[in-house]
């Protein structure tokens, strides 16, 4: 590696994710001729809450954690977005993720605005009891702005259905009665929805299927590499393998494993649940996280964290389709390189919108106290996500731009219309 390339990757790693989100909006604002006032309005979050979260740890000491809840836009309905527990959470990251939620909800045309939350913590180093205390106190601190009609959290990186159950219980205890609609991604026993656990991955599968059809590629045996083996990545591997795709590489935070003949996904899932990682799985060769991105495959699914596809590695990506199960994995510079090279990038706001779509179904079921069958949920999801793909693709063709810009054109236009119709208060 030359000094220049080291400097460049260091620079890209520091690339501010909030500026990146704003830049994506600026590009589309020009394209669709957004008025200056609405553009400036949409460039900033509506509301930002920072909270201190004191927690008594198992050894009796008190630790103070910092948490955030950001509501980007609520013109189309209550805000919606996950909560992330991770040591690298920053306010700028939460702001970017909240803005992306606004576009995502608008793209799949569900009546929600965008929000996101995060707590700076290392959940892997905390006991279940410490995690419960952290979750309950954080919920209590943000309870002034959340609620089924205001802002509805959900799972994200390192937050689980159990954590959603604690959020639901804490909020309900404060109000004095059960309020399942305050959070989605809950366990089934307390008002969760069938199909929610696999919804992000299932939506990703439907979108990749549409892209394969559009590019006239054959699904059977198409090679898929997946970075990140959690809720999004692991279920994507399972569902895609069932559909006939061949999973040739998979990784998590500790490293990866690869086999061009195809990994035994069921065995890999069992290995991950026994050992906590895909590393050491016998059915393939070890592969680094970096190499998973650049490996020989037809479809690449980044399903971990942001900013992994950069100016450095974009020219080395061999996939024909990149399906962003993760939020924000591709830097704008890398987007341009991939577009020029003819790689179809299915943007996060489309490729991982299955999660929020079934979260919307969960919220509707909670409010109606009437629960649907899983087939019906998957069918409704397929209709919504396939329509979103077509609308984004049509805009991309019409303007001669990539799929991200096409998807943004649809979404930003919808949010702008709602914002304009409602007018400026007072
Ligand atoms: P998760 O906590 O279930 O899984 C995260 C996975 O990423 C784990 O396997 C972890 O080991 C891996 N990982 C962490 N750091 C890594 C690194 N540096 N390199 C490689 N792998 C790494 O989280 P999740 O819910 O699957 O979320 C993953 C991504 O999908 C995030 O970007 C999230 O915002 C996005 N997403 C999730 C949902 C959802 O419903 N869960 C919905 C939409 C988008």
> pLDDT tens-digit profile of 242-284?
999 999 999 999 999 999 999 999 999 999 999 999 999 999 9
Count CA atoms within 13 Å of residue 245 on its CB side: 26
Same domain, 116 and 252: no
Pair (311, 211) in one structural domain: yes
Q: Which domain holds residue 233?
A: 199-346
Per the structure, how many domains does the chain have? 2
For residue 82, report the distance from its CA to the centre of ligand 1, in Å: 12
Contact (CB, 8 A) for 250 and 287 = no
Residues 165 and 299 in one domain: no
From the candidates 46, 95, 104, 116, give the one annotated as an active-site residue. Answer: 116
Residue 350, token pair as written in the block: 């489309």
The Cβ of residue 149 has, within 10 Å, a number of other Cβ atoms equal to: 10
Closest CA to 357 of 375, 393, 394, 383: 383
Which phi and psi angles does 257 have, rounded to 5°?
-145, 145
Could you tell me if residue 126 is inside a domain?
Answer: yes
CA distance 304 to 253: 8
32 vs 94: CA distance, rounded Å: 26
Q: Is 116 a catalytic residue?
A: yes
Q: How far apart are CA 246 and CA 421, in angstroms?
A: 47
Where does a domain end: 319, 346, 373? 346
Q: Which of 84, 119, 80, 85 is nearest to 100 (CA)?
A: 80
Distance separating alpha carbons of residues 343 and 233, to the nearest angstrom:
21
Q: What confidence tens digit (pLDDT) does each residue in 67-93 have?
A: 999 999 999 999 999 999 999 999 999
Other Cβ atoms within 10 Å of 234 Cβ, number: 23
170 & 233 share domain = no
Residues 151 and 209 in one domain: no
Residue 5 has pLDDT above 60, yes or no: no
Same domain, 175 and 207: no
pTM for this predicted structure: 0.94
For residue 4 the two structure tokens come to 């220049």
Cβ 232 vs Cβ 326: under 8 Å: yes
pLDDT of amino acid 140? 98
Residues 97 and 219 in one domain: no
Residue 186 lies in a domain: no
- Domain shared by 47 and 102, yes or no: yes
Residue 122 in domain: yes
3-class state of residue 151 by DSSP:
strand
DSSP 283-311: TSEEE-HHHHHHSS-SEEEE-S-SS-B-T
| Best CA proximity match to 26, nearest among 12, 17, 36, 16 | 36
User: pLDDT (tens digit, 9 = 90+) per residue, 166-184?
Assistant: 999 999 999 999 999 999 9
* Tokens describing residue 410: 């649809």
For 15-81, the DSSP string reads --HHHHHHHHHHHHHHHHT--HHHHHHHTS-SEEEEEEEEEE-TTS-EEEEEEEEEEEE-TTSSEEE
Tens of pLDDT, residues 275-308: 999 999 999 999 999 999 999 999 999 999 899 9
Per the DSSP assignment, residues forming a β-bridge with 70 are 48, 116
Do 311 and 205 share a structural domain? yes
Nearest CA to ligand 1 atom 19: 253
Residue 86 host element (H or E): strand 79-86
In a domain, 261, yes or no: yes
**Mean pLDDT in residue range 203-218:** 98
Angle subtended at Cα 108 by Cα 411 and Cα 390, rounded to the nearest 5 degrees: 85
- 203/94 same-domain check: no
Identify the domain boundary among 346, 380, 410. 346
Q: Computed over its alpha carbons, how large is the radius of gyration of the chain? A: 21
Residue 13 has a pLDDT of: 57
Which residue's CA is the closest to the ligand 1 atom numbered 23?
157
Distance CA 132, CA 53 (A): 12
Residue 4 pLDDT exceeds 90: no
Given ligand 1 and candidates 83, 232, 307, 356, which is best to mutate, with the most ligand atoms within 8 Å of its CB?
Answer: 232
Number of H helices, E strands in the chain: 15, 12
Counting ligand 1 atoms within 8 A of each CB, the residue from 300, 304, 327, 330 with the most, and so the one to mutate, is 304
pLDDT at residue 8 is higher than 50: no
Angle at the Cα of 283 from the Cα atoms of 282 and 285, rounded to 5 degrees: 80
Q: Is residue 103 part of a domain?
A: yes
DSSP-derived 3-state class of residue 251: strand
Does one domain contain both 254 and 153? no
Q: Is residue 227 part of a domain?
A: yes
| Residue 364 in domain | no
Tell me, using a 6 A CB cutoff, whether residue 381 lines ligand 1.
no
Q: Are residues 140 and 50 in the same domain?
A: yes
What CATH number should be reported for the domain holding residue 268?
Answer: 3.40.50.720
Domain boundary residue, one of 283, 317, 346: 346
Q: Which of 257, 305, 351 to mutate to test the pocket of ligand 1 (most atoms within 8 A of CB)?
A: 305
* pLDDT above 80 (res 369): yes
Q: Are 118 and 93 in contact (CB under 8 A)?
A: yes
Quickly tell me which residue has 């990038």 as its tokens.
345
- Whole-number pLDDT of residue 311: 95
Residue 159 CA, closest ligand 1 atom number: 2
pLDDT of residue 12: 55
- Cα(26)–Cα(34) distance, integer angstroms: 9
Residue 14 in this model has a pLDDT that exceeds 70: no
Collapse the DSSP code of 89 into the 3-class scheme (helix H, G, I; strand E, B; otherwise coil) and give the result. coil
Contact call for residues 264 and 199 (beta carbons, < 8 A): no
Residue 187 domain-assigned (yes or no): no
């Amino acid at each position: 590696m030359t000094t220049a390339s080291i400097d460049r990757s260091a620079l890209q790693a520091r690339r501010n994710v909030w500026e990146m989100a704003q830049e994506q909006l600026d590009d589309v604002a020009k394209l669709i001729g957004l008025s200056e006032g609405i553009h400036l309005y949409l460039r900033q979050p509506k509301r930002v809450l920072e909270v201190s979260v004191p927690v008594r740890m198992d050894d009796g000491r008190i630790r103070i954690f910092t948490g955030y809840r950001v509501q980007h836009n609520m013109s189309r309905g209550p805000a919606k977005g996950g909560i992330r527990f991770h040591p690298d959470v920053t306010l700028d990251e939460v702001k970017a993720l909240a803005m992306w939620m606004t576009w995502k909800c608008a793209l799949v045309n569900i009546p929600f605005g965008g929000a996101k939350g995060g707590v700076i913590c290392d959940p892997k180093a905390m006991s279940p009891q410490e995690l419960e205390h952290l979750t309950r106190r954080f919920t209590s601190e943000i309870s002034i702005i959340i609620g089924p009609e205001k802002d509805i959290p959900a799972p994200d990186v390192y937050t689980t259905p159990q954590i959603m159950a604690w959020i639901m219980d804490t909020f309900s205890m404060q109000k004095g009665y059960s309020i399942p609609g305050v959070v989605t991604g809950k366990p089934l026993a307390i008002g969760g929805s069938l199909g929610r656990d696999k919804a992000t991955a299932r939506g990703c599968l439907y979108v990749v299927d549409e892209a394969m059809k559009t590019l006239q590629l054959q699904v059977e045996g198409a090679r898929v590499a997946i970075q990140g083996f959690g809720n999004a990545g692991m279920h994507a591997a399972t569902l895609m393998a069932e559909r006939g795709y061949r999973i040739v590489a998979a990784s998590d935070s500790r490293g990866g494993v690869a086999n061009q003949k195809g990994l035994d996904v069921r065995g890999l899932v069992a290995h991950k649940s026994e050992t906590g990682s895909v590393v050491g799985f016998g059915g393939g060769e070890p592969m680094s996280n970096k190499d998973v991105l650049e490996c020989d495959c037809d479809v690449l699914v980044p399903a971990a964290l942001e900013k992994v596809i950069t100016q450095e590695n974009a020219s080395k990506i061999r996939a024909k389709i990149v399906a962003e199960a993760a939020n924000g994995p591709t830097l704008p510079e890398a987007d341009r390189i991939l577009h020029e090279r003819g790689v179809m990038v299915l943007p996060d706001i489309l490729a991982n919108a299955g999660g929020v779509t079934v979260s919307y179904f969960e919220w509707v079921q909670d409010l109606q106290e009437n629960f649907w069958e899983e087939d019906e949920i998957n069918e409704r999801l397929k209709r919504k996500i396939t329509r979103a793909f077509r609308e984004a693709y049509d805009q991309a063709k019409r303007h001669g731009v990539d799929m991200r810009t096409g998807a943004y054109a649809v979404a930003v236009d919808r949010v702008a219309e709602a914002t304009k119709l409602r007018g400026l208060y007072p």
